[in-house]
Amino acid sequence: KLSDGRIGIVSQTAATHALRPKVTLIFDHKGRRIMPLEINLAEEPELKIETSIAPQTLGINPAAELNLSA
């Protein structure tokens, strides 16, 4: 969960920016499902990861959301 309330899945990290990964957003700040949108936290200094949420509690499969083979 990001500091602005949106929820996403970490989709890519870089050794030089481990705490500023790319995140694929899947829920808006009100918890409503949205079209996936990837943002790069390295380019969004006002945003940070606030907390982690178990995917099961949201009813999602991260691999499926990111179109990865399981």
54-69 pLDDT, tens per residue? 999 999 999 988 887 5
Cα-based torsion angle of the residue sequence 52, 5, 60, 39 in order, rounded to the nearest 10 degrees = -90
Name the one residue in this structure whose structure tokens are 């178990």: 54
Q: Give this prediction's pTM.
A: 0.88
CA angle 42, 37, 24 (to 5 degrees): 60
4-46 pLDDT, tens per residue? 999 999 999 988 888 899 999 999 999 999 999 999 999 999 9
- Backbone φ and ψ of 32, nearest 5°: -85, 140
End-to-end CA distance of the chain: 23
Which is nearest to 27 in space by CA: 2, 61, 48, 50? 2
